[in-house]
């Protein structure tokens, strides 16, 4: 029997055992019961020691839900792995992790786990199928993480992607803090009425947290493999949720769709986070569908949300505070500081945001973000921009240097520069300017895009690549990114194209 080391693991086991025949997860029109999910989770948990680092290949499928719950039941550490980042990159990622265990769909494991990788591999072909075990010899595996629940992959702000340690106490406190948005804050272990909709990727904190929130609450949910307006609207019509969660890009897609407002008549509020949302879009959504948009502010480093609107605040303050991302959650503190001195700024003055969250254990309590912000005297927070150069595309963080490096791996490319441009639906998208080496064979933007596809995820791919005679450079011969931005505007103006 698995060792239920942490309260979260005990909660998962208790909830899945309440009524094994009750529906838990709907996927592609088929319901899977709490008993099926619980049995698959237990089958994984029984094979894992507490605190072990376990790589989990995560897709938006019931099998991945069971795998995550199984690792957490065992008191082990979920190391998130995104099988959609490109096979070469995923294999390199797994090879570098030095994991004692890897768990996933058997089809993914067969193609993505490097040959000869020493981990013990646990896989199954479907929910309910037996677990296939390939024993390993992980003597060189990295040390266990006794209190870490999830090592969540996140794009770094000034370097390559990194994993953030989210502890069991952190997740427990964040789950409790999420009650900020609920009128009924009863935490009794029981199965609740209603069906939630999970449409964010499990490999990102928003999707994984939503699943854990549903399981912890004993609430069944419809799991979408990926977001489309049609599938999401169908789920809303059938399940009649009171609250839904949409990233800004998805909210804009729903706003632009020709949906009957009656389709959303059950929905009282939309929780929207992960990327900036224009208050005009929020108001337009409310005007079209009669649903209030509760903007929130979260980051992987915080283990989830630290600020946001609830319905009570929205009714009282939205007209005066529109554009704000709300107020601090219970147990969280916010401040805006001078970026150079670290001194706190007075109300309504711009600076860099710092967060003190009850769920985090930092040296002095405060964690500096890469967001420029201001706080008003009532504690409402405005996010004004980024202090780093990351591009947020529909909630996905893109590092321009990653895209640049992928383009420059093409032998015909002398140098590349990647910048973000505004996009009404996604917030921002990457574009690239490329300087080529002399070559006998012509190289087209499509050639470069196809080459980059081998190493980049789809969301990282530039929406446009322009080949230029010469990239602007600084006196030290580095590509001048600011000048590239000006050049891009000039090229658009010359060609008669505008912003997306």
Query: What does the pLDDT look like over 111-153, one tens digit per residue?
Result: 999 989 999 999 999 999 999 999 998 787 888 888 999 999 7
Query: What are the pLDDT digits (tens) for 202-223?
Result: 998 889 999 999 999 999 999 9
Residues carrying CATH 3.30.300.30, the chain: 392-495
Determine the Cα–Cα distance for residues 388 and 399; give it in Å rounded to an integer: 10
Residue 185, classed as helix, strand or coil, is: coil
Q: What is the dihedral of CA 89, 91, 96, 97, to 10 degrees?
A: 110
d(CA 465, CA 443): 12
pLDDT band at 45 (very low <50, low <70, confident <90, very high): very high
Q: Tell me how far CA of residue 73 lies from CA of 2, 6, 68, 338, in angstroms.
A: 7, 8, 9, 43
Residues of the chain with CATH 3.40.50.12780: 7-226
Alpha-carbon gap, residue 407 to 398, rounded angstroms = 14
Predicted confidence (pLDDT) per residue in 84-103, tens digit? 878 888 999 999 999 999 99
The per-residue pLDDT for range 360-402, each reduced to its tens digit, is 655 468 888 888 899 999 999 998 877 667 888 988 888 888 8
In whole angstroms, what is the distance from residue 451 CA to residue 454 CA? 6
Q: Categorize the per-residue pLDDT at 179 as very low, low, confident or very high, splitting at 50, 70 and 90.
A: low
Specify the CATH number for 7-226; select among 3.40.50.300, 1.20.810.10, 3.40.50.12780, 3.40.50.2300.
3.40.50.12780
- Taking CA atoms, 266 is separated from 125, 179, 233, 269, 415, in Å, by 36, 20, 12, 9, 53
Convert 296-333 to b/e letters by CB count within 10 Å (16 or more is b): bbbbbbbbbbbbbbbeebbeebbeebebbbbbbbeebe
Whole-prediction pTM value? 0.77
293 contacts 316 by C-beta, under 8 angstroms: no
List strands edge to edge, sheet with 427-436.
Answer: 413-423, 427-436, 464-468
Report the relative pairing of strands 351-357 and 367-375 from DSSP bridges.
Answer: antiparallel
In our burial notation (b when 16+ CB lie closer than 10 A, e otherwise), range 37-71 reads bbbbbbbbbebbebbbbbbbbbbbbbbbbbbbbbb
160 pLDDT band, cuts 50/70/90, is very low
- CATH T-level fold of 392-495: GMP Synthetase; Chain A, domain 3 (3.30.300)
What average pLDDT does the chain have? 88
Residue 249 — very low, low, confident or very high, per pLDDT cuts 50/70/90?
confident
Class of residue 237 by CB neighbours under 10 A (exposed 0-12, middle 13-18, buried 19+):
middle
């Amino acid at each position: 029997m698995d060792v239920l080391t942490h309260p979260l693991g005990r909660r998962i086991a208790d909830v899945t055992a309440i009524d094994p025949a009750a529906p838990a997860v709907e996927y592609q029109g088929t319901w899977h019961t709490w008993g099926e999910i619980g049995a698959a989770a237990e089958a994984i948990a029984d094979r894992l020691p507490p605190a072990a680092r376990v790589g989990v290949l995560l897709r938006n499928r019931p099998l991945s839900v069971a795998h995550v719950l199984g690792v957490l039941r065992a008191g082990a550490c979920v190391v998130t792995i995104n099988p959609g980042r490109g096979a070469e990159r995923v294999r390199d990622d797994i090879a570098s992790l030095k994991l004692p265990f890897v768990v996933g769909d058997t089809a993914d494991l067969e193609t993505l786990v490097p040959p000869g990788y020493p981990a013990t591999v646990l896989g199954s072909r479907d929910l309910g199928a037996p677990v296939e075990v390939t024993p390993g010899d992980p003597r060189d595996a990295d040390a266990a993480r006794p209190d870490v629940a999830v090592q969540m992959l996140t794009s770094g702000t000034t370097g390559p992607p990194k994993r953030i340690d989210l502890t069991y106490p952190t997740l427990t406190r964040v789950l409790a803090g999420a009650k900020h948005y609920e009128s009924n804050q009863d935490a009794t272990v029981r199965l609740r009425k209603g069906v939630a909709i999970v449409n964010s990727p499990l490999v990102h904190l928003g999707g994984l947290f939503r699943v854990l929130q549903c399981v912890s609450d004993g609430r069944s949910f419809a799991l979408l493999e990926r977001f489309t307006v049609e599938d999401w609207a169908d789920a809303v019509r059938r399940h009649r949720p009171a609250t839904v969660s949409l990233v800004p890009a998805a909210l804009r897609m729903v706003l632009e769709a020709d949906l009957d407002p009656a389709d959303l008549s059950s929905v009282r509020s939309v929780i929207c986070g992960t990327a900036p949302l224009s208050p005009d879009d929020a108001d337009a959504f409310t005007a079209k569908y009669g649903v209030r948009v509760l903007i929130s502010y979260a980051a992987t480093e915080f283990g989830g949300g630290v600020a946001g609107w609830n319905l009570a605040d929205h009714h009282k303050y939205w007209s005066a505070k529109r554009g704000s991302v709300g107020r601090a959650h219970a147990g969280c503190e916010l401040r805006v500081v001078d970026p150079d001195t670290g001194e706190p700024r007075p109300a309504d003055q711009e600076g860099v945001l710092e967060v003190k969250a009850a769920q985090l254990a930092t040296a002095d309590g405060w964690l500096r973000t890469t967001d420029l912000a201001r706080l008003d005297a009532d504690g409402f927070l405005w996010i004004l921009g980024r202090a780093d150069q990351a591009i947020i595309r529909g909630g996905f963080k893109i590092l321009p240097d990653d895209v640049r490096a992928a383009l420059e791996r093409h032998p015909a490319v002398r140098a590349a520069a990647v910048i973000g441009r505004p996009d009404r639906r996604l917030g921002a998208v990457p574009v690239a300017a490329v300087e080529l080496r002399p070559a006998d064979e012509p190289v087209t933007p499509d050639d470069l895009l196809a080459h980059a596809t081998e190493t980049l995820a789809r969301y990282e791919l530039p929406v446009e690549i322009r080949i230029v005679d010469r990239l602007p450079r600084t006196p030290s011969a580095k590509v001048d990114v600011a000048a590239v931005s000006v050049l891009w505007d000039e090229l658009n103006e010359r060609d008669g194209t505008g912003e997306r």
